[in-house]
Structure 1
Amino acid sequence: MTETSWRPSGKRLTESLRAALAPVAACGIALGALAAWTLVGNAGEGASIEVSQGRVFLPSSESGDTAAFFRIDNTGGMDDRLTRVTSTGSLGEPTLSTHRMTDGSAAYPETVDSVTVPAGGSLPMSPFGLDITVRAKAGWRTGDLVRFTLYFENSGPIRTQAVVVLPGDGPQ
Structure 2
Amino acid sequence: MTTHMATRPNCSIARALELVSDRWTFMILREAHLGTTRFADFRDFLKIAPNILTNRLTTMVDAGLLEKREYREEGERTRSSYHLTPAGADLKIVLAALQQWGDVHVPRADGPTVLRRDTRSKGLVDVGFVAKDGQQVPDEDVVFEPVPGSSADRSTWR
Larger radius of gyration: 1
**TM-score calculated relative to the size of structure 1:** 0.19
**TM-score calculated relative to the size of structure 2:** 0.20
Between structures 1 and 2, the one with greater helix share: 2
